[in-house]
Chain A
Amino acid sequence: MNDLTPTAIGLSREDLPNSYIGRAVSRPNVPKLVQGRATYTDDIVLPRMLHAAFLRSPYAHARILGVDTAAALRVPGVLRVFTGADLAAVCDPWVAVLAHLKGMKSAPQHALPLDRATWQGEPLVAVVADSRAAAEDGVAALEVRFEPLPAQTDMATALDPGAVVIHPELGDNLTFQRSAVRGDVDAVFATAHKVVEARFATGRHTGVTLEPRSILADYSRADGTLTVHLSTQAPHMIQGVLAQQLRMEDGRVRVICRDVGGSFGIKVHVYPDEVAVAAIARILGRPVKFIADRFESFASDIHARDHQITGRIAVDAEGRILGFDIDDLTGIGPYSVYPRTSAVEGNQVVNLCGGPYDFAHYRCTTRVVMQNKVPTCQYRAVGHPIATAVTEGLVDMAAHAIGLDPIEMRRRNLVRDDAYPFTSPAGMVFEGLSHHAALAKLLEMVPVDRIRADQAAQREKGVHRGLGIAAFIELTNPSPFMYGIGGARISAQDGATVRMDPDGSVVVASGVTEQGQGTETILAQIVAHGLGVAVERVRVVTGDTQNTPYGGGTWACRGAGIGGEAALQAAIALKRQLLQVAGAMLQAAPQTLDIVLGEVVDKAGGAARISLGEIGRIAYFRGDTLPPDLPREFVQTRHFSTKEYPFAFTNGLQACWVEVDTATGMVRVLEHWCVEDCGRVINPLLVDEQIRGGIVQGLGGALYEHCLYDEAGNLLTTTMADYLVPMAAEMPDISIGHVETPTGESLLGAKGVGEAGTAGAPAALMNAINDALRPLGAVVTEQPFTPARILRALGSI
């Protein structure tokens, strides 16, 4: 194993005929998707299947006085009604806290609450019927008596003496609080050449996966097994959660995840309605399906990004950043979400503010408070878009305040490319980043001079255009330091099994999952490279706890970096085993042989000796012809997790070019650029589309998307006509560039890329809008940047 280096396994020679690393291989999954032949959870139909529908709380906060089920049970097709007490008999409540988030607190949450509703949209009562329509008829016929209670909806007053304390036994609404302090912030800000302060807000938004949350649970009374078809990112985690809550052994629960119609973090959490469906299946001994409708998605999928931030930056006369001083407040709903908790987003703001820059003095505090709204939790790029918007907003404002070009401001302050390893003032350790190389690359792509000339010319005509830039870092490849050390059964390691079948074809079973990003494709590429076979001969199996090695699944950008490395190691182990058998057959030393495109060849000269299919035939069917003690283990499993660094950080920059219509307040994004360093790029086609999709998601959150509530806690945006998402006509073409700084933690060298686009886009957009508005004396810092907010900033309304 000691001779294994990236160079030794061909990763520095990307043009070898049998190298698939770095090649734009098209995804074998796409034909079924574009022909309508995929299998999403709702496409699965089982014999005697029932359907669940939920009565959801019409109030933000109310006591449940009584549930009259008589009329519901008379609806044709309705079989049973389940209340919180019914399910509590078979299903235990959970509490979402992490031990390493010191002082964190939350309350026990049941699959269905016992006596109190704490957000509008919370599932309260389940009706089970022979069709979804009948189940909904049954819900309409339920008579539930409520006593409405005062609701705590405003995060800003959640800690005031007069606040409604949502869980009185906790004493107050403070879930978590943390400060990171480095240096002497007060002294530096008192004496700095320039201090700039601003208030920022990021709007509460949600993932809007096009496929809603979907579950089909089936319990067999014959063998005591629960089989759950689920649209999820983390099958093994959910297996463990369901086993624990339903008092079963892990091995009695099987989670199967076929095609997933988008996830973005939405589908990595434990949802009470989904646990309720599993509990109902356990009770009934029949398959039960629940597919959220769009109203239910808006009112019960996790929300995110509801933050109010005050930030200050101190700079010297040359524009060098001396320090950041940030105060963050976020509202998370009535419960911390299991098992990741709802404190991580605020915690990430503390970890990430100022991240790309070299400065000495730092103070950042987050306070995470409860409120009677939909629970929030980790959604694509967790905390990154907030930290990046605050950091890059302040950096731009400071540059403007001292008359420095924003690009030059960044050049003076970004951590030098030769400074690694580097520990940030927030305590994050960076193995190797490339801010300056990325900036140079970005400036090759963005025609800054032409843009500035156009901007000046357009201003003469009363057209206001602006260019914004944002640097960012992204946390990927998490180690157990993310969740495991806090006591959560969330695996940071992942496994892969690589098997050669008798005809020489290869099957990979992996614990990471596919939601469209191309996980299965890159695993096939990695194994094809590591083993020496054509990628077409590699099949990949994911999303089945019974048939894949235990792993964490896909979240926090770990599929390629963790799952990919496990697959590479397993492929190398299988190759070694195959060459040992080939050596015995050919009477050659294994180290003189290699495998190229499914043929065992002489390393010297490359002459073909024997095909993998022939080795398979002999080993599987004529093992009697081989030496008796020759091992023939044509299936190899390896597990991988990072060891040296808690996380593999990536970096990049984005630039955004916009036009603001000052009469209507409408913003049009004209062009957008991103340079990203995700380490070794395995498939540029897939990586570029991941980044583009992430950017559009970031732009959507910054321009249109907002979960709006009234003061009583009524959610006002429960259709796609109210909650606006980006469509094709509003979005620009996006140019992507790369710098590659592989991580030394693995042979593969890959880091994550799925969240980079979302991390940086809102900040680049905000700075672009403010660049356009600057001559008019207007500034916007509250997302989303709606026409009303822009007109208000302009003083028009």
Chain B
Amino acid sequence: MSTRLDITLTVNGERVSRSVEARRHLVDFLRLDLGLTGSHAGCEHGVCGACTVRVDDEIVRGCLVLAASLDGATVTTIEGLSDTGEVADLQDAFVARNAAQCGFCSPGMVMAAADILRHHPDASREEIREHLSGNYCRCTGYQAIVDAVEQTLAARRGGA
């Protein structure tokens, strides 16, 4: 229980060194050790997607990754993603389309949607729905979120 490990990693472009308990998962590490509260713990068993963050260019479930395994890794959270402006257009589309209600899923949803923008620029509406199916939203019914992603993809392709 009390086994601790020293890790050094890059979070949102900043180098951080911490001693972490072996059992500490990434989302607790971000929230409790670094004060990055944008990532949310929704289920802590890898289903809801509220803790989605980017590790070394791939999105992962922050609740299924142990912080101790991330020595040398590069982590991007919703705070970092927002600060770089990488998805400012997507976030604007979320605002315009009212694609967030309570917002607890929104950071994870934006992280997952950013993954579509990077890796699947030609995704269809059905593919967007499929890709976002690891992210639970209880409020919106999903349609506005799918619309926002679809509009952003179209705009980036120069079609809107």
Contacts and interface: CB of A to CB of B under 8 A. Distances in A.
Contacts of B146: 728
Nearest to A43: B37
Contacts of B47: 719-721
Interface in A714-728: 719-721, 725-728
A210 B138 contact: yes
A693 interface: yes
A725 B138 contact: yes
Interface of A: 26-27, 29-40, 42-43, 76, 133, 137, 207-212, 259-264, 293-294, 515-518, 685-686, 689-690, 692-697, 719-721, 725-731, 733-734, 757
A727 B137 CA distance: 7
A294 B100 contact: no
A689 B140 contact: yes
Interface stretch (B3-11, B54-62, B65-73, B75-83): B75-83
Interface string B16-49: 0000010100000001000011111111110110
A36 B39 contact: yes
Contact of A719 (B21, B43, B133): B43
Contact of A729 (B23, B96, B130): B130
A685 B79 CA distance: 27
Contact of B133 (A212, A695, A727): A727
A34 B99 CA distance: 9
A33 B99 CA distance: 10
A697 B137 CA distance: 10
Interface of B is mostly: loop
A693 B94 contact: no
B136 A36 contact: no
Contacts of B43: 294, 719-720
Contact of A40 (B104, B129, B135): B104
Given A31-B91, A34-B106, A36-B39, A692 B138 contact: no
A572 B43 CA distance: 46
A720 B136 contact: yes
Given A36-B79, A518-B101, A728-B128, 7 more contacts: A27-B100, A689-B140, A689-B141, A697-B138, A719-B47, A728-B129, A728-B146
Contacts of A696: 140-142
B153 interface: no
A668 to B, nearest CB: 12
Interface string B107-119: 1001000000000
Contact of A210 (B129, B133, B137): B137
Which of B95, B99, B144, B145 has the most CB atoms of chain A within a 10 A radius of its CB?
Answer: B95
B102 interface: yes
Given A210-B136, A515-B102, A725-B136, A695 B77 contact: no
A31 B141 contact: no
B59 to A, nearest CB: 14
A396 B107 CA distance: 43
Nearest to B94: A34
Q: Give the 9 A-B residue pairs with the shortest CB-CB distance, closest first.
A: A36-B38, A33-B103, A261-B104, A516-B101, A516-B102, A36-B78, A692-B141, A720-B47, A696-B141
B98 interface: yes
A211 B40 contact: yes
Contacts of A43: 31, 37
Contacts, number: 183
Given A35-B82, A516-B102, A728 B138 contact: no
Size category of the B interface is 35 or more
Contact of B40 (A208, A210, A725): A210
Contact of A695 (B44, B105, B141): B141
16 contacts: A26-B95, A27-B100, A29-B103, A30-B94, A32-B103, A36-B36, A42-B37, A43-B37, A211-B104, A515-B102, A689-B141, A693-B101, A694-B141, A696-B140, A721-B47, A729-B133
Given A31-B91, A294-B43, A697-B138, A133 B103 contact: no
B139 interface: yes
B5 to A, nearest CB: 15
A34 B134 CA distance: 17
Nearest to B127: A729
Given A689-B98, A734-B143, A516 B45 contact: no
Which of B1, B79, B136, B141 has the most CB atoms of chain A within a 10 A radius of its CB?
Answer: B141
A726 B140 CA distance: 11
B45 A721 contact: yes
Contacts of B134: 727
Nearest to B24: A133
B71 to A, nearest CB: 21
B98 A210 contact: no
Given A697-B138, A719-B47, A261 B77 contact: no
Given A36-B39, A261-B104, A209 B95 contact: no
Contacts of B140: 689, 692-693, 696
A517 B48 contact: no
Contacts of A76: 2
A733 B137 CA distance: 15
Contacts of A259: 102-103
Contact of B139 (A34, A35, A516, A728): A516
A697 B139 CA distance: 8
A29 B48 CA distance: 23
A415 to B, nearest CB: 29
Nearest to B88: A35
Which of A35, A43, A259, A294 has the most CB atoms of chain B within a 10 A radius of its CB?
Answer: A35
B114 to A, nearest CB: 11
A733 B138 contact: no
A335 B146 CA distance: 42
B100 A30 contact: yes
Contact of B95 (A34, A37, A207): A34
B141 A33 contact: no
A261 B101 CA distance: 9
Contact of B103 (A34, A692, A734): A34
Contacts of A733: 143
A385 to B, nearest CB: 16
A728 B103 contact: no
A693 B141 contact: yes
Which of B98, B106, B136 has the most CB atoms of chain A within a 10 A radius of its CB?
Answer: B98
Contacts of A32: 103
A264 B138 CA distance: 9
A727 B128 CA distance: 12
Contacts of A693: 101, 138-141
B136 to A, nearest CB: 6
Given A137-B1, A211-B40, A36 B141 contact: no
